[in-house]
A and B are shown apart, each in its own frame.
Chain A
Amino acid sequence: MRGAMFVQAYGDAARGLIGLAVFAAVLELLPRIGVVSHVYFPPISAIVVALVHEAGRAAFWVSLFLTLRSWAVGLAIAVIAGTGVGLFIGSFETLRRLTASTIELLRPIPSVALIPLVVLLYGSTIRSTLVLVVYASVWQVLIQVLYGVQDVDPVARQTAVSFRFGRWGQLRHVVWPTTLPYLMTGIRLAAAVALILTITSELIIGAPGLGKQIALAQSGGAVATMYAYVLVTGLIGVAVNLVARVLERRVMHWHPSVRPSMHRARTP
């Protein structure tokens, strides 16, 4: 069974790689045979050459570092704040009801709508980036944590109460493990959103990082270089998603959605 899954996973990966290779070949060919403009759509080989060139410059690595740092710091703040606030609000039914409408009102505000505000406050700095990233990603975490706290099984809770677990004991051993899978989903979503906002902020506000490099390359007419940076941001996105998924499966090894199927379902 495991073997079959393994072969299947391998097959999927192989097919995925073939698909990518075909896609790259098309991107290489289209500008070369003149279907699209050579100027705006350089062939992929030119982009790779530009990327290799950039990788030789310190500015590239500094930008990469700054982008990753903004992303990681913003995400960390969002995760910690979202988890703390979510656990707290979720623990008190009245508080949850009181705050529900406020959350529903604030959550849909697109983070980019706050760009004028943060520029006024902090200018083209990493601080601006952080504010946007935190604002965008904190909701993903908060909402998931609130769902998780709601999902605590009443029988599990009664069991804990019947064995005289205190408030902290219940939080630590019942609420937290139930919430964790939701939190992991929240983190995965937040990680993607945080990356988008990091790049957006660098691109539009001009805070230092890969986004700013994209803008610089564009204004300097270095089209291949611009694409090279775009490619790098894409690769970061893929890596972030991959890591988040691995982490998720690890933390949730016991969860019905992850654990190997048994002869018996969880509920009788």
Chain B
Amino acid sequence: MIEDRNAATAQGRPTLLDVDAVKMVYSSAHRTVEALGGVRFTVGDGEFVCIVGPSGAGKTTLLKCISGLLRPTGGTVRLEGTEVKAPPQAMALVFQDYARSLFPWMTVEANVELPLKQAGMARRQRRDLISSALADVGLTDVGSAYPWQLSGGMQQRVAIARAIAYRPRILVMDEPFAAVDAQTRADLEDLVRDLWHKLGVTVLFVTHDIDEAIYLGERVLALSASPTVVMDDIAIDLPDARDQIGTRSLSRFGELRKELYGQIQRARHTSG
């Protein structure tokens, strides 16, 4: 665990996000669920880190704790050295459920604009950010459409545009492509890699898909079953330029995949 915490800094990148022994116990009248059992990892500035874990592992819970939407029952989260107690300015979230995360009563442009408006940004600057964000995700013509007039993949692009227009230092995504078809998903994966390169933003990407995690990340964290801890922290030593067919057919890709599958299988068995 100690080595894991140093993995990011070892690459010469200063720590941006520090997740320190985060615990989350949901308790209601009838039952208590220990969703997170002391999750510990760091993310270096500019890194692309993927988190994989089976359904119900507490991935969403972890992201809520990291983003300040939920106060963990133990441990701390620090972003740029300060403890996260409420959603930080330097972070933007992309939710899995884009259709519910985008506001259907507003046009695409207004959706992208609203967080900037709420932050008190001047109109001119907002205009610039909106058009560059929409261009970055490949949606220049749909600004005046409503989200529900677009396909699922386009809607998720809008959500990504909204997040990058916000100019976060870290982009946090919770299974963003779980609800789109395979081809769209591949396109969106490449889009996120491109944005990461282009904008130099740090990305924390949660998925239940091991292949997706390996294809996208520089590092993959594997979560155990509940109560969840980080079970494995694997550096993805694949070439930086990735493409859907070439990268996925590399023998190294297969090895990494085998390693992660093995880890997750073992986690299943030990947790019973």
Contacts and interface: CB of A to CB of B under 8 A. Distances in A.
Contact of A159 (B89, B91, B93, B149): B93
A263 B106 CA distance: 19
B95 A163 contact: no
A268 B102 CA distance: 13
Nearest to B119: A164
A156 interface: yes
A259 B149 CA distance: 10
Contacts of B115: 163-165
Given A163-B166, A164-B89, A177-B105, A267 B100 contact: yes
A163 B118 contact: yes
Given A162-B69, A164-B119, A165-B118, A268 B92 contact: no
Contact of B118 (A169, A180, A259, A267): A169
A158 B149 contact: no
Contacts of A3: none
A174 interface: yes
Interface of B is mostly: loop
Interface in B84-105: 86-87, 89, 91-93, 95, 97-101, 103-105
A153 interface: yes
Nearest to A251: B105
Nearest to A177: B105
Main secondary structure of the interface of A (DSSP, over half): loop
A57 interface: no
Nearest to A263: B151
Contacts of B106: 177, 254
A114 B130 CA distance: 57
Interface string A108-140: 000000000000000000000000000000000
B69 A155 contact: no
B103 A259 contact: no
Contact of B149 (A156, A163, A174, A262): A262
A235 B105 CA distance: 34
Interface of A: 153, 155-156, 158-159, 161-166, 169, 173-174, 177, 180, 254-256, 259, 262-264, 266-268
Interface of B: 64, 67-69, 86-87, 89, 91-93, 95, 97-101, 103-106, 114-115, 118-119, 146, 148-149, 151-152, 166, 179-180
21 contacts: A155-B95, A155-B100, A156-B101, A158-B93, A159-B95, A159-B101, A163-B115, A164-B119, A165-B115, A169-B118, A177-B103, A177-B106, A254-B148, A256-B148, A259-B148, A264-B148, A264-B151, A267-B97, A267-B99, A268-B98, A268-B179
